Amino acid sequence: MSTRVENINKNIIEWAIVRNGNSLGDFYEQNPNVESWVKGEKKPTVKQLEDFTHKVHVPFGYMFLENPPIENIPLPFFRTANINTSNKVSLNVFHTIQNIQDRQNWLTEYLNELDFPNLDFVGKYNLSNNYKTIVNDIRNILKLELDWASKHNTWEQALDFLTNQIEEAGIIVTFNGIVGTNTRRVIDVNECRGFVLVNNKAPFLFINSADAKAAQMFTLIHELAHVWLGESAGFDNQNLIPANDPVEILCDKVAAEFLVPEIIFMNKWEVTKDFKYLSRIFKVSQIVIARRALDLNLITKTSFLEFYNKYMGDFKFKKDNQGSGGNFYATARKRVSLIFASFVNNAVKENRLLYRDAYKLTNLKGETYNKFITEYLY
């Protein structure tokens, strides 16, 4: 006979349902057994309660708390349409931040054990500094010339090169559009384009790969600027426009100048106003070109938004009509970060890290982890 769980806390059950993004009415309609627990008509078995916690993504032990735990994210979350920051995010974003924070905590401790020096560019500047000064320093640290992007055939190639340069400087970059490897838990681009967790040993940048690649490069540099300012943050950057916050506005100026230097852009704009042509010159997407034109008051905000919405609408149509495809391990290289995976692999070889912990840090297990390390890491 199955063991029944006594004294179920109704408040914890309902908190877990709402926390998962469900309405109580809809959830009870689809899961009448759970409603009967709340009403005291039935008692769940241990297995039923475990199944419930998996469905709403809470630890089993939470079911026995007297009150719901206070869950705060370790960074402000900026929203374009709201002048206030918020620490309220969806469960998918919350768990992703937790996952990246776990990686950062482990890597920071590991690098400290190995006596790695602090990164002296973290928090080097503040709001009193000119954005062009920050851009020049970023280019210097990443070993990039003013026209670095012109050496690449496409902006997609430029994005890959830029990511590598950032990681070579000691910053971990991860791209993912889902929670871990769970394809049913998608991270909504409208809520989170990305976030950055900053410390002076191992800064982590997270880019939502569900977003158009056309927007990812801008997000990447925006986050990089946060590192130079020493400020962790998350953001939605709706329509590629920042929240009304001084730090966000400065980071946006840095991203725009880094990707499309004003002096070169203005010279080219005198010759042509064709976004497609200019995007090929600067190796950025057309929406970044349009955004730069907006920054420099060369087009109106209405014109920019019309172009942006059409571009992103076309992207969504193409995405919805193409197969999922893709190579799992090639995708894992971006989800995990090759630099981070290398540190994990070295720690395992040095007996500083158990395999089970390596599996958790990389979201790869058993033979999948082994194949990734042996065939795709180097």
Give residue-wise pLDDT tens across range 122-146: 999 999 999 999 999 999 999 999 8
- At 59 the pLDDT is 87
Q: Residue 139: CB partners within 8 Å, gap ≥ 6? A: 145, 146, 148, 258
Average pLDDT over residues 162-184: 94
For residue 43, the Cα-to-chain-centroid distance in whole angstroms is 40
CB-neighbour burial class of residue 66 (10 A; exposed 0-12, middle 13-18, buried 19+):
exposed
Banded pLDDT at 171 (limits 50, 70, 90)? very high
Question: How far is Cα 292 from Cα 276, in angstroms, rounded to an integer?
Answer: 13
Q: Is the pLDDT of residue 23 over 80?
A: yes
Q: Indicate if the pLDDT at residue 224 is higher than 80.
A: yes
> In the β-sheet with 82-86, what is the strand arrangement from edge to edge?
82-86, 77-79, 233-235, 194-197, 204-208, 172-176
Residue 251's pLDDT band (cuts 50, 70, 90): very high
pTM of the model: 0.85
Cα distance between residue 226 and residue 233, in whole Å: 8
Q: Is the pLDDT of residue 87 over 80?
A: no
227-237 residue pLDDT tens = 999 999 998 87
Choose between 159 and 348: higher pLDDT. 348
If you average pLDDT over residues 278-305, what whole number do you get? 92
pLDDT at residue 79, rounded to an integer:
80
Residue 26 has pLDDT above 70, yes or no: yes
Q: pLDDT: is 265 or 70 the higher one?
A: 265
What pLDDT was estimated at residue 318?
76
240, pLDDT greater than 90: no
3-state secondary structure the chain: CCCECCCCCHHHHHHHHHHCCCCHHHHHHHCHHHHHHHCCCCCCEHHHHHHHHHHHCCCHHHHHCCCCCCCCCCCCEEECCEEEEECCCCHHHHHHHHHHHHHHHHHHHHHHHCCCCCCCCCCCCCCCCCHHHHHHHHHHHHCCCCCHHHHCCCHHHHHHHHHHHHHHCCCEEEEECEECCEEEEECCCCCCCEEEECCCCCCEEEEECCCCHHHHHHHHHHHHHHHHHCCCEEECCHHHCCCCCHHHHHHHHHHHHHHCCHHHHHHHHHHCCCHHHHHHHHCCCHHHHHHHHHHCCCCCHHHHHHHHHHHHHHHHHHHHCCCCCCCHHHHHHHHHCHHHHHHHHHHHHCCCCCHHHHHHHHCCCHHHHHHHHHHHCC
**Average pLDDT score, the chain:** 90
Residues 6+ apart with CB under 8 A from 360: 102
pLDDT exceeds 60 at position 324: no
* Res. 81 pLDDT band, cuts 50 70 90: low
